[in-house]
Amino acid sequence: MSFKIIVIGTSLGGLSALKNILVNLPLDFLTPIAIVQHRHKDSDRTLQALLQEHTSLPIREVEDKQEILPGQIYLAPPDYHLLVEPGYFALSTDEPVSFARPSIDVLFESAADIYREQVIGVILTGANQDGTQGLKKVQAHKGITIVQEPATAESSIMPKAAIAAVAVDWIVSLSEIAPLLVNLCDYIRK
Amino acid sequence: MDLPKSSLEDIEIQLLLEGVYQYYGYDFRNYALSSLKRRIHSFVRLEGLTNISALQERLLHHRPCLDRFLLNLTVNVTSMFRDPSFYIAFRQQVIPLLRTYPFIRIWHAGCSTGEEVYSMAILLQEEKLYHRCRIYATDTNERVLQNAKNGIFSLKLMQEYTQLYLRAGGQKSFSEYYTAAYDNAIFRASLRDNVIFAQHNLASDSSFNEFNVILCRNVLIYFNPTLQKRVHTLFYNSLCTFGILGLGRQESIRFTPCENHYEEIAQGEKLYRRLN
Ligand SMILES: C[S@@+](CC[C@H](N)C(=O)[O-])C[C@H]1O[C@@H](n2cnc3c(N)ncnc32)[C@H](O)[C@@H]1O
């Protein structure tokens, strides 16, 4: 059995953390990755461009009903929640959750709902509590839970909140996250 | 793709939506499940219930619960001049086309509380085309339509709307378009002169006219691919040749069966022209 999707959530300090992960992923990394990075609702396409400089895996800001394909990295657009449906993404402009739109909880919960134990959830640096509920649900459905070691996070509040609420599978430093994802997905692929 | 087996919860939701449809005629069966589920859950909590089956019982036996349910189920978030660059593109690419028509029919489908309708009316007035236009503003939710008809919005929002108006290419002082009264901004009645507000359900109703422009922004995201297909077919059949379809910023004609019936006329702005 293989993983269907990796979901990553981050807020304050996320840009450099995401760069670190992306630059360390091999070009043949197949498991689709969906990312929620909190940002201002008026932000433009610069996040996508900034991240794309660090990987050749194609990164795209999700459009409604876009298919989830291997080898692709998907970014939640500003001011929309990103949700997982069977085989594709959906968007919504529902009320912010924990003050955030896009919300990490919303992405993680919907991914867990659809792909159950075939989900890997990753919580990175951030200065709020978004993502904790989502990670809980990933765990409840027997998916894999990973949190950035708080000491290596620019802002440790989000990782700490996740660790306090969920018995996570892995707590690893930022530089170990990409190798861990490769291992988990490779191991499972064989 | 191998799909996971339905969970008990998915079955409960299916039964609930089927019941609401059979008994009351409101059809949510083809809404996008992921976001619908979240809203059903929050409604279950709001009603102080423990599960979806309990909600079904209450919904089918207590009509007032249905009204609360309907209000909670549809997302009515909107704004004036939402995505200003869309309005710039509309001014540049669509207005010249509309000038060639003696009479212009525009359909705002899923207009919510009407902010987009007033925005378009303002734009058309500034382009001196409004007198030739008729705007049909529809939504399935009667409550929001009533607000749209009143054209009264919170004064607190006006600062933000002024910024958006200017970024959308606005040519005047935005405050010319409304009168402040207590905490409210009451929009000029003249903006409503050529607008017809009416209830219309995209999930079940058919077309009611032929249009030069159809705007449907951030509504189709709440539908699943099956219902999206129905609505796209409805739009295609309701547009005149070379008619314009405008979608929301993160929506695309690309993932629909109508992809080949349109051409994009403004890069990235989700403005499409019907071919042939
Ligand atoms: C998020 S609002 C979008 C408002 C506006 N078009 C905008 O983009 O700012 C979605 C609207 O779609 C309406 N809606 C939902 N289902 C509908 C249906 N089946 N038929 C017509 N309108 C529907 C809701 O009532 C709500 O007002």
**What domains can you pick out in chain B, each with its CATH number?**
5-73 (no CATH), 84-274 (3.40.50.150)
Decide if A85 and B1 are in contact by the 8 Å CB cutoff.
Answer: no
DSSP string, chain B: -PPPPPPHHHHHHHHHHHHHHHHH----TTB-HHHHHHHHHHHHHHTT-SSHHHHHHHHHH-HHHHHHHHHHHS-----TTSSHHHHHHIIIIIHHHHTT-SSEEEEEET-TTSHHHHHHHHHHHHTT-GGGEEEEEEES-HHHHHHHHHTEEEGGGHHHHHHHHHHTT--S-GGGGEEEETTEEEEPGGGGTTEEEEE--TTT----S-EEEEEE-SSGGGB-HHHHHHHHHHHHHHEEEEEEEEE-TT--GGGSTTGGGEEEEETTTTEEEE--
| Mean pLDDT, range A141-153, rounded to an integer | 97
- Is A54 a known active-site residue? no
pLDDT value, residue B1: 47
ipTM above 0.90, yes or no: yes
Superfamily of domain A5-189: Methylesterase CheB, C-terminal domain (3.40.50.180)
Q: Exposure pattern of B101-135 as b/e (b: 16+ CB <10 Å)?
A: eeebbbbbbbbbbbbbbbbbbbbbbebeebeebbb
Residue of B nearest to A110 (CA): B34
**Angle, CA B31 vertex, CA B20 and CA B139 arms, to 5°:** 80
Report yes or no: A117 at the B interface, CB cutoff 8 Å: no
In this complex, which of B34, B77, B254 lies closest to A93 when CB atoms are compared? Answer: B77
Q: What's the pLDDT score for residue A190?
A: 46
pLDDT at A96 over 90: yes
Q: What is the pLDDT of residue B5?
A: 57
The proportion of chain A whose per-residue pLDDT surpasses 90, expressed as a percent, equals 91
Confirm or reject contact between A65 and chain B (CB < 8 A): yes
What was the pLDDT predicted at A188?
Answer: 55
Contacts of B32 in chain A (CB under 8 A): 83, 85, 90, 92
Which numbered atom of ligand 1 lies nearest the CA of B78? 9
d(CA B137, CA B113) in angstroms, rounded, equals 10
Beta-ladder partners of A10: A37
Tell me which residue in B3, B38, B221 faces A64 most closely, judged by beta carbons.
B221
Is A79 known to be catalytic?
Answer: no
| Whole-number pLDDT of residue B4 | 52
Q: Which of A77, A92, A106 sits opposite B222 (nearest CB)?
A: A92
Among chain A residues, CA nearest to B224: A65
Question: Which chain B residues contact residue A86 at CB under 8 A?
Answer: 1, 3-4
Neighbours of A36 (CB within 10 A): 28
**Long-range CB contacts for residues A64-68, cutoff 8 Å, separation at least 24:** A64/A89, A64/A90, A64/A91, A64/B220, A64/B221, A64/B248, A64/B250, A64/B251, A64/B252, A64/B255, A65/A89, A65/A90, A65/B225, A65/B228, A65/B252, A65/B255, A65/B256, A66/B252, A66/B255, A67/B255, A68/A4, A68/A5, A68/A32, A68/A34
- What is the dihedral sign for C-alpha B146, B162, B87, B123? positive
DSSP codes joined into one string, B214-265: EEE-SSGGGB-HHHHHHHHHHHHHHEEEEEEEEE-TT--GGGSTTGGGEEEE
Please tell me which residue in A130, A141, A155, A156 is annotated as part of the active site.
A130
Mean pLDDT (whole number) for A57-70: 97
Q: Pairing mode, if any, of strands B239-247 and B271-274?
A: antiparallel
Stretch among A40-44, A101-105, A159-163, A166-170 having the lowest mean pLDDT: A40-44
- Give percent of chain A with pLDDT exceeding 70: 97
CA torsion angle B113 B221 A80 B7 (round to 10): 120
CB contact under 8 A, A64 and B224: no
Q: Which residues of B2-26 are buried (b: 16+ CB within 10 A; e: fewer)?
A: eeeeeeeeeebbeebbeebeeeeeb
Identify whether A141 is a catalytic site residue: no
> B34 to chain A: which residues are within 8 Å by CB?
83-85, 90, 110, 113-114
Question: How confident is chain B (276 residues) per 10-residue block, as mean pLDDT?
Answer: 68 96 95 96 95 95 93 91 97 97 98 98 98 97 94 97 97 96 96 97 95 98 96 97 97 89 94 93
Q: How confident is the model at residue A1 (pLDDT cuts 50, 70, 90)?
A: low
Could you tell me if A168 and A140 are in contact, meaning their C-beta atoms sit under 8 angstroms apart?
Answer: no
